[in-house]
Each structure stands twice: as C-alpha cells, then as structure tokens.
Amino acid sequence: MQSVESTSRLSRFRGGRQHKRLRGGARRGSVPAGNSSRTEPPPMMSSTDAPASIRRLVPEDARAYAEFRLAALEGNPLAFGSSAEEERGHALAVAAARIHDPARPQDFVLGAFAGRDVVGTAGFKRDLRAKHRHKGSVFGVAVAPAAAGRGLGGALVRRLVAEARTVPGLLQLVLTVSDGNGGAEALYRRCGFTVFGREPRAMLVDGVAVAKLHMVLMLDAPSGSD
Ligand SMILES: CC(C)(COP(=O)(O)OP(=O)(O)OC[C@H]1O[C@@H](n2cnc3c(N)ncnc32)[C@H](O)[C@@H]1OP(=O)(O)O)[C@@H](O)C(=O)NCCC(=O)NCCS
C-alpha cells in the first residue's frame, strides 16, 4: 500500500523555493531597506530582462505552449492536478485544444512572451452547464523559473480577470491552489481571490498527500466578497 506523507513535511514547491531564493537577492523593483512602502512595480521583465508581452495564445503557439506546459508540470508536480507523465504522449493535442476548441469559444489561454519564448501562462475555462454558466475557472498559471518574482504571474492573473469580466453572464472565477504553495496563494490573494474551502488529500503525488485550497473571485463585487 502506498504510504501517505503530508506536504508540510515534504515541501517540494519549486515556485516557493524560487521565491525564497529571490527574496534573498536583489530583486528588480524591490523596496529598499528601511522603506516599508512598496514601490511602483517596474514593467514586467522576462528572463532576458526584455519587457515581456502578454497576449492570447493562437493555434500557431500550440507547440511552444505544449513544451512550456510539460516543463511546468515536470518542475512542479505538487502544484498541478495534471501530471507530466499523463500528458507527455499527447501534449500537443492538449495544448491545441486548450488554445482553441470550437465547442468552447469563450475559453482562452494567455501567454507571456519574451521574444518568441513562452515564459508564462494562465488559462480560463467557462463552465458550460446551464446551472453553472456563471462560473469560470483559472488553470495552468505558471511562470518560467528564470522569469519569476518580477510581477509576471500577477500580471497574467490580473489580465485574465480583466478579460473574464468582459464575458457576458460570468459572475465568478474559481481556482484551486495546493496548500503550502504560499507564493501562488499570495499572488491570487493580491489579485482579489479569497479562500472558501480546503479539500484534504485532494491529490496523491507519489504517495504524498496534497490538500487543495479553493479560492473564488466575485466579479460583480469589487471587494471580492459575495
Ligand atoms: C506562482 C508563480 C506563477 C508566480 O509567478 P511570478 O511571476 O513569480 O509571480 P509574481 O512575480 O507576480 O509574484 C511573485 C513574488 O514577486 C513579488 N513581486 C511581484 N512584482 C514585483 C516587483 N515588481 N518587484 C519586486 N517584487 C515583485 C510579489 O510580491 C511576490 O512576492 P512573494 O513571493 O512575497 O509573494 C510561479 O512562481 C510559478 O510558476 N510557480 C510554479 C507553478 C505554480 O505553483 N503555479 C500555481 C499553480 S496554482
């Protein structure tokens, strides 16, 4: 039988480790010592320190998206519900369907680009069931380690929220984040999401139990409350 260990003992979030490492170093736009107020963020910068641009992915981006997504799944096994092992054989088809599915015209994936390289993504998927059409979910939020800690993740999620606000009849966005992935949870909170539940042992990753926090953003309430 598989042994089950909790993530509090086995913290393997690459994103979290990345944040800790970055916190110690000089971060572009970081608040100088002795100044408690946050400075205006600089333009989002990519790994090459060129400004990154964000746009919706189009079918021609499918290969680059598939490669980025597989790398994110491989690098962060505790952060995502999908696994690299499961997707590797049909990653291109998964990516293409997420970018464009004629049956789901309101869904989209945002990509952050440094030149031609995808360095970040955030996906939106509307629930199509009649009683659930007012809800959409956020999935696949990831930033390449070399581009992390510079505002790209926040910019992707804020842009996704802005675009979701234009979808007729959409009232709320939901997402899940693994309990213990403090960097991602903090990012979502900064974007207005609040936690409304916690599913214990939502995933088992190689015998490691991972709880998931459920978060919501009410699009018709600026405060994010209901
Ligand atoms: C979580 C993740 C998407 C965050 O992406 P990111 O681009 O690093 O996010 P941001 O830069 O917007 O925010 C991260 C940190 O940088 C800080 N930051 C943002 N802009 C900044 C700026 N201009 N200057 C200084 N710091 C800044 C944020 O305050 C935040 O600090 P914190 O670590 O104290 O919370 C990324 O780390 C990742 O891909 N992780 C692995 C996959 C994952 O966990 N995905 C989420 C699944 S639910």
Pocket of ligand 1, candidates 70, 143, 195: which has the most ligand atoms within 8 Å of its Cβ, to mutate?
143
Whole-number pLDDT of residue 221: 84
Got the DSSP string for 9-37? TS---HHHHHHHHHHHS--TTPPPTT--S
Q: Output the six-digit token pair for 28.
A: 């572009």
Pocket of ligand 1, candidates 179, 187, 189, 193: which has the most ligand atoms within 8 Å of its Cβ, to mutate?
187
Helix intervals (H) in the chain:
14-24, 62-75, 84-87, 91-99, 152-164, 182-190
For ligand 1, is residue 154 a contact (CB within 6 Å)? yes
For ligand 1, is residue 177 a contact (CB within 6 Å)? yes
CA-proximal residue: ligand 1, atom 5 (nearest): 153
State what percent of residues in the chain have pLDDT above 90.
74
Mean pLDDT of 171-177: 98
pLDDT digits (tens, 9 = 90+) for 175-217: 999 999 999 999 999 999 999 999 999 999 999 999 999 999 9
Whole-number average pLDDT of the chain: 83
pTM: 0.82
Ligand 1 centroid to residue 16 C-alpha, Å: 9
Mean pLDDT of 140-156: 97
- Name the band, by pLDDT with cuts 50, 70 and 90, for residue 15: very low
CA-proximal residue: ligand 1, atom 10 (nearest): 151
Mean pLDDT of 149-154: 96
Ligand 1 centroid to residue 187 C-alpha, Å: 6
Whole-number pLDDT of residue 138: 98
pLDDT digits (tens, 9 = 90+) for 26-38: 233 222 222 333 3
- Name the band, by pLDDT with cuts 50, 70 and 90, for residue 52: confident
- Name the band, by pLDDT with cuts 50, 70 and 90, for residue 222: low
Statement: residue 8 has pLDDT above 90: no
Q: Which domains does the chain have, with CATH numbers?
A: 5-20+50-218 (3.40.630.30)
**Phi/psi of residue 194, nearest 5 degrees:** -125, 155
